[in-house]
Amino acid sequence: MFKIFKAFVKKEVYHILRDRRTLLILFGMPIAQILIFGYAVTNEFKDAKIDVLDYAKDQSSLQLVQHIQSSGNFLLNRILHSEKEIEAGFKAGTSKLVLVIPESFGADLYGNRPVSLQLIADGSDPNNANTLVQYALAMILDFQKERLKLAENPFQVRVETRMLYNPQLISAYNFVPGTIALILLIISAMLTSLTIAREKEQGTMEILLVSPLPPLLIILGKVAPYAILSFINAVLVLVLGYFVFGVPIIGSLTLLLIICMLYVITALSLGTLISTISKTQQDAMMRSLMGLMIPSMILSGFIFPLASMPVVLQYLGHIIPATYFIAILKGIMLRGVGFNFILFEVSVLLGMTLFFLFMTYKKFKIRLE
């Protein structure tokens, strides 16, 4: 039986190697996706226009504004006079960031009192906004360090940032978990459903069925190569994220890889389930695109935060495996949480997988109808 299985996998490998399109999806897409998302958020910038709402209008506030401009990253656009003017700049697109300096700035800075500043960014372009805020923060801290040499203020400058339009800003780090979730889904689910549908379309499924091959072996032989490939891809994305973009893996790597494997199985079972109801490749493609890809991209919290969606969509988001997987990944990678903290998400994922596997087993036909 193992020999048959091996022959099956070998055949599948030939199919993959000889089909440029599959190869491109397999290896081109993860790399392209992570690079696009990654570079979109870490782009260097110069002369970003900022507005300043200066209530203090004293020497120290002037010094702060000058200091912020000194790196060449920021350029003062306008001095605002009231809070009402803040949005106008965003709406006209003339400014991306507003620095609000309170009236007591100078006095607080030198008077041993907590200093608070406010940064308001245009969250509709979240990646950009995040970068701007990070840079501005760096400049403000730098300014504080310089001043501290002059006056010993035990209090740190407190900067309050506010994102207009997209309060739950997606950070660069979010893209790596999201991309892994999406890529595993595409490769495991879409490609397996496509390859099974192709056998039906070409009529080879007819011959396979009229052979002593047990149906389970057909499924396993089909999905095994893709399981391995998806896993390699997940690792590839992790490596790219870690080395190129410095996305950390704070938690346990072993736990992370085990969860990735679990999710691969979830996606594969979904893929085979789709293939049992699709007759042609086009059919399988449509079903995986509409049924998996698009919901997973939109409703999993990958691109748009789930919390800011209408309740109905939130519910929908909660039946998508990617939602849980992304939550787990973020937990392990970014917050470094252990197994105890992701118990709920893992059990949901496990439950879904068992359900899909059961459905696939139920739906898989030993005949043509």
Partner 1 sequence: MVHFESVCPLRSSSIRTSWNRLVMQAIQVDNISKSYGKISALKSVSFQVEEGELFGLIGPDGAGKSTLFRILTTLLLADSGEGHVAGNHLLRDYRKIRRIVGYMPGRFSLYQDLSVEENLSFFATIFGTTIEENYGLIKDIYVQLEPFKKRLAGQLSGGMKQKLALCCALIHRPEVLFLDEPTTGVDAVSRKEFWEMLKKLKQKGIAILVSTPYMDEASLCDRIALIQNGEILTINTPEGLMTEYDLPLYAVKYDDTYQLLKGLRKMPYTKSVLPFGDSLHLTVEAETPVSKITEYLTDLGFENAEIRPISPTVEDIFLELSRRTESKND
Return residues touching partner 1 (CB under 8 A).
Answer: 3-4, 7-8, 10-11, 14-15, 18-19, 202-204, 206-213, 366-369
To partner 1, the closest distance from the beta carbon of 25 in angstroms equals: 16
To partner 1, the closest distance from the beta carbon of 362 in angstroms equals: 17
Question: CA nearest 342: which of 267, 250, 259?
Answer: 259
CB 112 within 8 A of CB 131: no
Nearer to partner 1, 44 or 369 (CB): 369
Nearer to partner 1, 149 or 367 (CB): 367
Which residues contact residue 283 at a Cβ distance below 8 angstroms, ignoring those fewer than 6 apart? 197
- Measured in degrees and rounded to the nearest 5, phi and psi for residue 168 equal -90, 75
What is the rounded radius of gyration, in angstroms, for the C-alpha atoms of the chain? 26
The owner of tokens 């969860």 is 259
Quick one: tokens of 9? 């996998």
Nearer to partner 1, 103 or 206 (CB): 206
Question: CA nearest 116: which of 106, 103, 102?
Answer: 102
To partner 1, the closest distance from the beta carbon of 228 in angstroms equals: 20
Nearer to partner 1, 209 or 293 (CB): 209
3-state SS class at 122:
strand
Beta bridge partners of 51: 78, 98
Quick one: tokens of 311? 């309740």
Nearer to partner 1, 134 or 211 (CB): 211
Upper half-sphere CA count for residue 251 (Cβ side, 13 Å): 21
Nearer to partner 1, 71 or 202 (CB): 202
CB 180 within 8 A of CB 238: yes
Which residues contact residue 104 at a Cβ distance below 8 angstroms, ignoring those fewer than 6 apart? 56, 113
Question: CA nearest 326: which of 170, 110, 149, 182?
Answer: 182
CB 274 within 8 A of CB 360: no
What's 38's DSSP letter? H
Nearer to partner 1, 52 or 194 (CB): 194
To partner 1, the closest distance from the beta carbon of 8 in angstroms equals: 7
- Measured in degrees and rounded to the nearest 5, phi and psi for residue 116 equal -125, 135
Nearer to partner 1, 25 or 132 (CB): 25
What is the full DSSP assignment across 26-71? Answer: IIIHHHHHHHHHHHHHH----SEEEEEEESS-SHHHHHHHHHHHTT
The rounded distance, in Å, linking the Cα atoms of 7 and 1 is 10
Nearer to partner 1, 312 or 366 (CB): 366
